[in-house]
Amino acid sequence: MKIHQHIHDIPAANGSPCGQNATLHAPISADGTPELGRLYQVPARQGRAVRVAKGQTIEVINTHGTQVCDFWAFSAANTSEFMSWEHGRAMISRVIPKVGDPLGTNRRRAILTLTEDTSPGIHDTLMSACDLFRYINFGVKEYHDNCADNLRMAMMAIGQSVLEVPQPFNLWMNIPVKADWSVDWLPPVSKAGDKVRMRADMDCICAMSACPQDMIPINNMMPVDLHFRVVA
């Protein structure tokens, strides 16, 4: 699909995707309610959304060890409240959460708590989700799958919408800040089967994108699938 020459000006609403992929028509269920304990796939370059009730735990698995997962959480009661890292970093006084840390919202309360992390704990809370505009800056001429649109479509697929694309919790994304305050874009240091578990502190909708980035090394240049489950 060719990129519209005025794509920076349309769509007018930031909750509307700039293109489409299979995410839009492949929800885990009509409203995102999971079968507890069932293992679900997030295919490479796509997104999925799931409802997680207060007290339940969502487990996200880096199936191959090389894949970044853009992860969002929204209050099920009001999607205008969401996991927000400009607020969340202040709540925990660090840039990468550790096990036991609350993951805060834009209303400065916990939406999830990080309860387990089998990886070395290298994640990112600084970078926005990739979007079509980033790929335009890379020189693409046709539509490229991206995390921002994957979020929008995953929410639409379960009958929800978002007003904006919040900065995600970039699971396993390796963006070290160097001594001169510049950053590197490096492959994950996780291994196959590493998982992150987060307990819901309120009824929420979580969304995940198996990041489609294939122009810098953050996914070893080869996006692959992820898996997740919700447990009581």
Please choose, from the candidates 180, 232, 179, 169, the residue with its C-alpha nearest in 3D space to the C-alpha of residue 206.
169
The token pair that represents 1 in the structure block: 């699909």
Contact between 108 and 189 (Cβ < 8 Å): no
Please tell me the least confidently modeled range out of 3-17, 32-46, 83-97.
3-17
Burial-class residue 71 by CB neighbours within 10 Å (0-12, 13-18, 19+).
buried
Say whether the peptide bond before residue 11 is cis (omega within 30 degrees of 0): yes
pTM score = 0.96
Nearest-angstrom CA–CA distance, 121 and 190: 8
End-to-end CA distance of the chain: 42
Q: For residue 4, what pLDDT is reported? A: 77
- Give the pLDDT confidence of 119-155 residue by residue, as tens digits: 999 999 999 999 999 999 999 999 999 999 999 999 9
Give the DSSP H/E element, type plus range, for residue 228.
strand 226-231
* Residue 88 in this model has a pLDDT that exceeds 90: yes
Q: For residue 8, what pLDDT is reported? A: 85
Distances (CA, A) of 88 to 36, 58, 125, 162, 201: 28, 19, 9, 19, 14
Q: For residue 165, what pLDDT is reported? A: 96
* Residue 99 in this model has a pLDDT that exceeds 90: yes
Angle ∠(168,214,65) on CA atoms, nearest 5: 70
- Give the pLDDT confidence of 28-61 residue by residue, as tens digits: 999 999 999 999 999 999 999 999 999 999 999 9
* Residue 87 in this model has a pLDDT that exceeds 90: yes
- Give the pLDDT confidence of 154-200 residue by residue, as tens digits: 999 999 999 999 999 999 999 999 999 999 999 999 999 999 999 99
* Residue 5 in this model has a pLDDT that exceeds 80: no
* Domain residue limits, the chain: 7-224
Q: For residue 9, what pLDDT is reported? A: 82
